[in-house]
Structure 1
C-alpha cells in the first residue's frame, strides 16, 4: 500500500462502538465471545472429520459422524447465527448513536439460543448421531434422542424470532420520535436482515416441531421432514450471504469512508431484491426427491439462475464505488487502484478473500443447481467441496472481519498484531483452495460425501484416496488459520493494554474527496464476466466427466 497517497484517520466506527452504554457493550461482547468459542469448537469437529476421511486418523464410524454432526451444527447454525445477531444488534445500535432499544428481548433471545446450543451438544453425544439436519429416520427407534436434539433447534428458532425485534425497534425509534424522515441505506439493509432472521427462526421451528411432537407422543411421524428441511436449509443458506453483502457495504465505509456512488435509493432496491429472488428458488434443493414433477424441476432450474442476482449486483456497487474513489486518488491501470486500499487492516484482507471465495462458490453452485447434474453430484463430495467456499471463505471470514471492526470498540483494546492477522485470511484461502479444489474434483469422480472410510477396504480407486488426503491437508491449513484469526479477533475483548490510538493507520478516508468526472469502473463488470465464463466452463467439465464414469448413482439425501 502506498501510504503517501492516502490520509489516515481515526476509526470512527470504533469510536461509535466505544461510546455505547456499558450494558449494550456487555451484551454485544458476550454474544461475540460465545460465537467465537462455538466457531473454534465447530472447526475442531470439521478438522477431525477431514483427517478421518483423508486416512490420517483411524476412528470408529460412529465417532466420525459425531464429529461431523458437531461440525455442522456448531458452524452452520450457532456460529453463523449468533455472530449475525451480534453484528446486527451492534450496527443497529450505532446507526443513530443512541444504543439499543428493548434490550430485554435481545437478552432473552441470546440466552434462549445458548440454551438451545447446550441441548444440541447433548443431543450430539447421546444415541445415534443425527447429522446436522436431524433426520427423524435415524431416530425412529430412539425418539428421546430426537427430542433433545430438536429442542435445541426449536430454542434457536425462538431466539432468532425474538432477538431481532430489539434491532428493529432500535432502527425505527428515531423515526417514531420524529428525529429521522427515512431509514438510511444501511438502516434499511439492517431492517431487512432482521426480518430475514425472524423468518429463518420461524422456518426452523416449522421444520423441527413435527419431529419433537412425534418424540413426545403427540403427533405422527414427520414423513415430510425432508421437504421442510430443504426450505429451512435454503433460507439458512442464503441469509448469511445477504448478511455478508450488507457487511461488505458497511465495512467498506468503515475502512475507507466510501459510500455507494449510485446513491442510497439504488442500494435499498438491491437489498430488497433478496426478498424477491431468494425465497422462490428453494426448489433446486428438492431435485433428488423421486416424486418431484418434471415441470417443477425445470422451473426450479430456471429460478435458481436468479439466486446470485442480488449478490452480484451488490458486489458491483461496492467494487465500482471503491474503484472510482481509488482512481480519483491516483490509481492507474486495470488493477493498480487496488494497491491503494487499506491492506494493513486484517478486515480488508478478510474481505478480499471473501470476494474471491464468493466468485468460486457461485461458479460451482451454478453447476449444482442444474436439474441434470444435481442428481449426479448432490450426494458426492462436490457439495462440501464447493459449499466451504461460501461458509468459510465468504461468510465466516466476513463475519470475522466485521467482529474485528466492532470488538476493539467494545473492549477498548486495539486490534491484536494486525501485521500477522492480515496474513491469516490468505493462509486460510490457500487451505480452502486445496480443500475445495480436491473436494470438487472428488465429487466429479463420484466420491460420496457422508462416508468415513474412503478406502472401502481397499476397493476404492486410488485417486479417491489421493484427493481425500488433499482435502484433509487443505482442511488442516484452513482450520489452523481460522482458529488463529478467531483468537486474534477475540483478544480485543481482553482487559485493556494497547490503547485504541494504536488503531491509527489501519484505515483510509476518501469520503471528503471529490470524485473526478469521467472515471470508469471496469473491474467489477470484468469480474462478473469471468465468473459467468467459469460457470459454463465447469458445467461442461461436469457433464463430460460424469458421462465418462462407468456408473452413476444418486441418493435422496439432498443437502
Structure 2
C-alpha cells in the first residue's frame, strides 16, 4: 500500500516498490509495443513512397495490404499494449498487485498477443486487406476477426484486474481518497470496455458469421455505427494515458506539484461522459441516420472542449506556479525554469503543442458544414497523425525514457537523454512535413485511402503529386525517428549502466483543499454515462434496424442465411 511520510513540513507519499516479476510483466507489454512501432512504421514509410510515385511494392505485395497492417498494428496493437503495460505499472505503484492479479494480467497479455498474431498473419497473407476500419462490404478471413476479438477479450481481462486492484485497496483503506493515477486508470478502462463492446458486437455477431458463410449479407450501416460508437472513444483511450502523464508525472519531472487533484478527477469524469455517445459525427455524410440525432451527437462532441480546456489550464498553471516558486518573474519568465534539456519533459511538451492544431482540426471534422469540405480527403489522415502520432506517441516516448530504465534496473544516461532529444526533434519535424502536406492536399480535394499518385494526369493531380512527394520526405524522416527510437529502447532495456531510475509521481500542494468524496461516486458516474449513451443511440439505432434494406439483416447469425 502507499504510505505517507513527513519531509520537513510537507507530506510525501512513499509508493510501492515494484517486484521483479511485476517489472517483467509490464515490460512484456512494452516489448510488443516497440516491435509494433517498427513493423507499423515500416509499412507507413512504404505507403508514402508508393503514393509519391517513386516506388513500386515488390513480390506482389498490395498497397491496401500494407495500409491495413500499418493502421491495425500502430493504431490498435501498439497503443493498446503500451497503455495497458503503463497502466499496470501505475496501479502496481499506487495500489499494489497481488500474485493472483499478476497471473490474470499474464493471461490478458497472452490472449492479446495470440489475437495480434492471428490478425497480423491474415493481413500478411493478403487475406485481410480491409483497412484499419474494416468497413463492410470489404470482407476478411474469419481468423482476422477472431484475432481482433481476442485482442478485445484480453484487454477486458486487464480492465477487470485494474478494477479489482482499486476495489481491494479501497476495502483496505475505508474512507480514504484513492490515488489519483489509480482513479484515472479505472476511468480509462471503464471507458474502453463500454466503448469496445460496440465493435465487439459487430465483429462477433456480424462479421464472423458473415465471413464464415453462415449469412449471405450484412447490414453495412449497423456495422459502421457500431464501429464508430467505439472508434471515437478509442481516440480518448489513447489520449487519457497521455493526460495521466501530463497531470501527475510531468509536474514531478519539472520539480512542481499537481495543480488540483479535484480538477484532474473532474476532467476525467467529463471525458468519459462526452467521449462515447458521439460516434455519429464520423457519419455525418451517411444516409439512414436521422439528421436530428447527428446534431445531438455533434453537440455532445463539442462538450469535450470543456475537460480539454480544463486540462490545458491545469498543466500550464502547474508550469507557471512552479516557475514562480523558483523565483522566475515577468509575464513569461516561468518558461525559463522548464527543463528543456530533459527528454522526459521535452517529448511530451512537443506533444502538448501538437495537440493545439490537432484540436482545431477536430473541431472542423465534427462541424457539419466544414466536414463536407474535408470528409474522406487525406486531410482526415493528416489530422489523425498530428493528434495520435504526434501528441500521443511523443508522450508515450517521453514516458518510456523513465519507465523502461525503472523497470529494467538501468539509468537514463546523458547520452541516451541527448539521443532522445534528437529523436523528439526528428519526429516533430517529420510529422510537421508529412501531416502538414496531408492537410493542404486534403483541402485541395485529394482522397484518402488511395494508392494512386497521378489521378488521371490532370493539372490538379500534378499539384497533389507535389504534396505526396512532401509526404514521402516527411515519412522518411519519421522512419529515421523510428529507427532511432528502437535503438534508444534497446540501449535503455539492455545496455545502459545498472542503476535506479525514479518513477516520478507528483504530490498535491500541501495546502490543497480536500477532494470532494462525490467525485468517487462510481455508481453515479457510470449511471450518467449509460444514460447519455442510451439517449444518443437508442432511438436512432431502432430506426436503423427498422429501416434496414431487404436482405440486409442487422444481426445475420440471429436470422440465418438470406
Tell me the TM-score normalised to structure 2 length. Answer: 0.82
Question: 1:514 and 1:278 mapped to 2: Cα distance?
Answer: 33
Shift of 1:172: 2.8
Q: Which one of the candidate residues 398, 401, 415 is aligned to 2:395?
A: 398
Question: 1:98 and 1:147 mapped to 2: Cα distance?
Answer: 36
Does the aligned pair in 1 maintain the 2:341–2:421 contact within 8 Å? yes
Match of 1:480 in 2: 480
Distance 1:180 1:247, change over 3 A: farther
Does the aligned pair in 1 maintain the 2:258–2:508 contact within 8 Å? no
1:446 equivalenced with 2:441 (yes/no): no
Does the aligned pair in 1 maintain the 2:105–2:158 contact within 8 Å? yes
1:94 equivalenced with 2:99 (yes/no): no
Q: Which one of the candidate residues 211, 230, 244 is aligned to 1:246?
A: 244
1:216 equivalenced with 2:218 (yes/no): no
Match of 2:489 in 1: 489
Shift of 1:130: 1.0
Match of 1:182 in 2: 177
Does the aligned pair in 2 maintain the 1:100–1:166 contact within 8 Å? no
Alignment of 1:5-16 (within 5 A): none
Shift of 1:389: 0.8
| SS, match of residue 73 in structure 1 | helix
Does the aligned pair in 2 maintain the 1:257–1:511 contact within 8 Å? no
Match of 2:6 in 1: none
Shift of 1:56: 2.4
Deviations, residues 412-443 of structure 1 (Å, cap 9, x unaligned): 11125111212221221111111111111100
Distance 1:116 1:328, change over 3 A: same
Question: 2:338 and 2:433 mapped to 1: Cα distance?
Answer: 27
Match of 1:117 in 2: 116
Question: 1:227 and 1:423 mapped to 2: Cα distance?
Answer: 42
Distance 1:26 1:116, change over 3 A: same
Shift of 1:121: 0.9
1:106 equivalenced with 2:102 (yes/no): no
Match of 2:324 in 1: 327
Distance 1:98 1:242, change over 3 A: closer
Match of 1:136 in 2: 136
Question: 1:196 and 1:508 mapped to 2: Cα distance?
Answer: 23
Deviations, residues 469-497 of structure 1 (Å, cap 9, x unaligned): 111111211232133124313432215x5
Question: 1:509 and 1:370 mapped to 2: Cα distance?
Answer: 38
Tell me the TM-score normalised to structure 1 length. Answer: 0.82
Shift of 1:292: 2.6
| SS, match of residue 443 in structure 1 | helix
Does the aligned pair in 1 maintain the 2:115–2:147 contact within 8 Å? yes
Distance 1:301 1:509, change over 3 A: closer
Distance 1:251 1:137, change over 3 A: same
Alignment of 1:277-288 (within 5 A): 277-288=274-285
1:366 equivalenced with 2:363 (yes/no): yes
Alignment of 1:328-367 (within 5 A): 328-367=325-364
Distance 1:58 1:162, change over 3 A: same
Distance 1:21 1:452, change over 3 A: same
Does the aligned pair in 2 maintain the 1:207–1:232 contact within 8 Å? no
Does the aligned pair in 1 maintain the 2:195–2:229 contact within 8 Å? no
Deviations, residues 1-53 of structure 1 (Å, cap 9, x unaligned): xxxxxxxxxxx99x968x31221111111111111111111111111101111
Match of 1:55 in 2: 53
Query: Relative contact order (alpha carbons < 8 A, sep ≥ 6): 1 or 2 greater?
Result: 1
1:274 equivalenced with 2:274 (yes/no): no
Shift of 1:250: 2.5
Shift of 1:236: 1.1
Q: Which one of the candidate residues 30, 33, 48 is aligned to 1:32?
A: 30
Deviations, residues 249-291 of structure 1 (Å, cap 9, x unaligned): 13214413533333x2232111111121111222201112123
Question: 1:196 and 1:514 mapped to 2: Cα distance?
Answer: 32
Could you list the runs of 5+ residues in structure 1 that have no partner in the other structure?
1-11, 140-144, 516-559
Question: 2:250 and 2:467 mapped to 1: Cα distance?
Answer: 37
Question: 1:285 and 1:318 mapped to 2: Cα distance?
Answer: 29
Does the aligned pair in 1 maintain the 2:114–2:150 contact within 8 Å? yes
Match of 1:81 in 2: 80
Distance 1:188 1:219, change over 3 A: same
Distance 1:153 1:97, change over 3 A: closer
Question: 2:259 and 2:138 mapped to 1: Cα distance?
Answer: 53
Does the aligned pair in 2 maintain the 1:435–1:472 contact within 8 Å? yes
Match of 2:429 in 1: 430
Match of 1:152 in 2: 147
| SS, match of residue 176 in structure 2 | coil
| SS, match of residue 484 in structure 2 | helix
Could you list the runs of 5+ residues in structure 2 that have no partner in the other structure?
1-11, 513-562
Match of 1:458 in 2: 457
Question: 1:508 and 1:121 mapped to 2: Cα distance?
Answer: 36
Does the aligned pair in 2 maintain the 1:427–1:478 contact within 8 Å? yes
Deviations, residues 486-532 of structure 1 (Å, cap 9, x unaligned): 4313432215x51336x69x9999989999xxxxxxxxxxxxxxxxx
Give the number of equivalent residue pairs.
493
Does the aligned pair in 2 maintain the 1:160–1:201 contact within 8 Å? no
